[in-house]
Structure 1
Amino acid sequence: MLMTSTPPDGYAVPKTVTGLVTYATAYGWKTLVQWAADSGGNPFVNVEIGRLLTADEAKRQRGDRFDFRLTYHSRSCTPGMLKRFGTGLAQTPDKPQWHDAPALWKIREVIYLNPAPDAATTFKGPITKEEFNTIPNARALRFSHDRMGRRYTEWIENMPRWGWSLMSDYGQPEHPCHVSRADSRAMAADHLTAFLAPSRAYGGDHLTVDEWEIGPWPVRST
């Protein structure tokens, strides 16, 4: 079977699929789109989206990758049209055996919660809370503030016992404390960022955002 990246005349990848591919690429995932035809000459396209976990990410997982494989076929369709063929296949770190792929919206959700580590640009401050909230798509990784004569620092960290967590030193840098855990790095960063929303009075005096990142995720609401 000859596979090619070029669609046959009169055919194109469905817009819902091209949107998913663009979305995945923005989050640092790899994509592959290949066309072929069945024995009856009916064109179809295979779409693969995924990424390998880093060694650090894979430590507490059963599998080492995200891999979603979908097929869109022209059989029984109007010429030039394609429809999803079956459910497709998926592998995820928590379910490494091949299983049915979920709906496209669910795949987008998985991508959003698990961006590739190099998909975001990380910056170090300090900048003020007000400056931080003018930056589109910024997500906080560490901030600090004065309270009761001490400088408090709060950050996210991948802890051996709890996984991705919100951390605080409560003004004692030599004694970092676990505050709460999160299901992913993205969720931990989102929780920390929520403390800095303009409508939320949080932290003490002279609050600065000491480390943050800018990525392709949706702009947060304020």
Structure 2
Amino acid sequence: MAQQLNLLDPRFARQTLRGSARHALWAMAGALLLGWAASQGLQWATAQAQAAAVEGDTAMAPLRAQLMAQSASTPGSAAAELLQLKALEAGQRRIRAALEAGVAGHREGHADYLVALARQASDRLWITGFALSEDGNAIDLEGRMTDASALTPYLRRLDAEPRFKGRPFAQLSLRAVDPPGGALPYTEFALRSVTGATAPATNAGAQPAQLATTVAANGKGATP
């Protein structure tokens, strides 16, 4: 018996996967642009501060000469002003030293880290969150993956990047997500580096590849 097939049936419609890797790549590109803009702004502010310090030092040169000339005739007041001038100079030297050493702010910002993350992007794994401490020592990574086995090679590739090399992740957590509506299931992961004495004794110093091996062994489970 002949049967008619309804091609307009919703069951035959193309299914759209929410939270796909393509959307994540677009989000990474936007984050990269924002990070680059923030880095440029920070570099400009640092250059302005350095120029202001140089201008202040130049403007103080005539005052320094005047105070030195007056010290012979009025030793009491001139000596006090000279001490104030020396204290001001010492403060400016500390500011210049902080700017040159990068203590006043992490000059490079997040741009280099975001470039490294984008360079190692995968269609099975993408980053949804990134945080960097002010001193650049602590890193937090959050992401999703459609295959738990993708985390092992991803962390190995990431460890080869100059910005991530030698930065062990001390904390790892996993959470399996099964979204409603027939969307593709995925696993959320979070990696956190803890420096110095703050690192947990059980996980301190663990290399990224070792943590990734734990992920592959546990599948979609969760590790503290």
User: What TM-score range do you get, normalising by the shorter chain?
Assistant: under 0.3
| TM-score normalised by length of structure 1 | 0.23
From the CA coordinates, give the structure whose radius of gyration is larger. 2
| TM-score normalised by length of structure 2 | 0.22
| Bigger strand share | 1
